[in-house]
Amino acid sequence: MSTPVFIFGAGPQGRVLLDIVRSDARRVAAGFLDDRPDRAGVAIAGLPVFHATEWLAGGPRPAAVVVAIGNNAMRMTVAARITAAGYALYTAIHSSATIAHDVEIGAGSVLCMQAAVGTGCRLGTNVVINTATTLDHDSIVEDGAYLSPGVHSAGHVHVGRQAFVGAGAILLPGVRIGDEAIVGAGSIVLEDVPARSLSYGTPARMHRIVDEDIDWARILGGRGR
Ligand SMILES: CC(C)(COP(=O)(O)OP(=O)(O)OC[C@H]1O[C@@H](n2cnc3c(N)ncnc32)[C@H](O)[C@@H]1OP(=O)(O)O)[C@@H](O)C(=O)NCCC(=O)NCCS
């Protein structure tokens, strides 16, 4: 029997991950984990939700876990909790994703429906490549970075550790997105973006350096949330 997969995060991204795990004929999605006490004990799509701390201390073994959390820093922290508890990270690749023969993908990374990753690319650990996002040849995406839906990246692009790129952004050949930088939705990035900067627009301009804690609900959700 194949090792069951549990999804850490019982919110909307958890349901996205459920579809990805279910597209993998070799694996079975067995349940969700969540730190929020109000989420534990309910069922999502017929699968149980367990309280994460209790489950990590005494859950079934072997099992693999994938993190369904958009906040890059939190996703990395939770991934470290999972490995410290002795569980493997599941690398979630939707069956409709297209990946060149020589791509390297780190543990715990997520490739959503219709993602496409070209030859020579290297993805770190706990990276998210969202729905219909394309990453062309010889690009590097460092640990914990997040490319939102519909991002199109040309070749030789470098996305730094825990950087965030908003929906529909376009990254021109060879640009470097700094560590923990934030690129707004729909931006066209012509030039390198510094670490921890907030940039957006067409062409993308840097608006400020983010020196406070990042408000992830606002960054991910935009104004409509
Ligand atoms: C770039 C972003 C992070 C800015 O957040 P913010 O700092 O809270 O910015 P505000 O909403 O306060 O807007 C500040 C100004 O920037 C403009 N602006 C914000 N985002 C913009 C964008 N993506 N492109 C162009 N202009 C943008 C606003 O219109 C506003 O202009 P104004 O001052 O003339 O009214 C956010 O708008 C964004 O694009 N988030 C990405 C959402 C996303 O793709 N989620 C995917 C989840 S899977």
Structural domains in the chain plus CATH codes: 3-90 (3.40.50.20), 93-218 (2.160.10.10)
Average pLDDT, the chain: 96
Please give the distance, rounded to the nearest whole angstrom, from the Cα atom of residue 35 to the centre of ligand 1.
Answer: 29
Task: Please give the number of the atom of ligand 1 that sits closest to the Cα of 218.
Answer: 8
Query: Model pTM greater than 0.85?
Result: yes
DSSP, res 222? G
pLDDT at 48: 97
Q: How far is CA 54 from CA 36, 50, 74, 173, in A?
A: 12, 8, 19, 46
pLDDT value at residue 221: 86
The pLDDT value recorded for residue 129 is 98
Q: Which of 17, 171, 200 has most ligand 1 atoms within 8 Å of CB, for mutation?
A: 200
Above pLDDT 70, what percent of the chain?
A: 98
Alpha helices in the chain, H assignment, sequence order: 12-22, 52-58, 72-84, 216-221
Q: Tens of pLDDT along the chain (225 residues)?
A: 689 999 999 999 999 999 999 999 999 999 999 999 999 889 999 999 999 999 999 999 999 999 999 999 999 999 999 999 999 999 999 999 999 999 999 999 999 999 999 999 999 999 999 999 999 999 999 999 999 999 999 999 999 999 999 999 999 999 999 999 999 999 999 999 999 999 999 999 999 999 888 899 888 986 554
Atom of ligand 1 nearest to the CA of 215: 8
What separation in Å is there between the alpha carbon of 186 and the centre of ligand 1?
10
Does the C-beta of 201 come closer than 6 Å to ligand 1? yes
pLDDT at site 196:
97
> Does 219 contact ligand 1 (Cβ within 6 A)?
yes
| CB distance 165 to ligand 1 below 6 Å | no
CA angle 43, 45, 46 (to 5 degrees): 55
pLDDT of residue 222: 65
